Amino acid sequence: MADKKTFKVKQVGSPIRRPKEQAATLKGLGLGKMHRVVELEDTAATRGMVASIPHLVQVVD
């Protein structure tokens, strides 16, 4: 069975004074506090979520 591909995302921006949709996207990714890093499955849905808030998150190598 093949391993699922993953990537890491770090929160670098605050959701304060941002639209509710952006704060909800952060929560959906498992983020919520500054500088927190989560490992996510590499799917089109998660890539789209990350792409919708590039000013709040950073993809970590």
Looking up residue 42, the CATH number of its domain turns out to be: 3.30.1390.20
Position 27 in a domain:
yes
Domain count, the chain: 1
Q: What is the pLDDT of residue 51?
A: 97
Query: Could you tell me what percent of the chain has a pLDDT over 70?
Result: 97
Q: Are 29 and 7 in contact (CB under 8 A)?
A: no
Mean pLDDT, range 15-20, rounded to an integer: 96
Cα(10)–Cα(19) distance, rounded to whole angstroms? 19
pTM exceeds 0.95: no
Within 13 Å and on the Cβ side, how many CA atoms surround 54? 3
Q: Where are the beta strands (DSSP E) in 1-61?
A: 6-11, 37-41, 57-60
Whether the CB-CB separation of 17 and 37 falls below 8 Å is answered with no
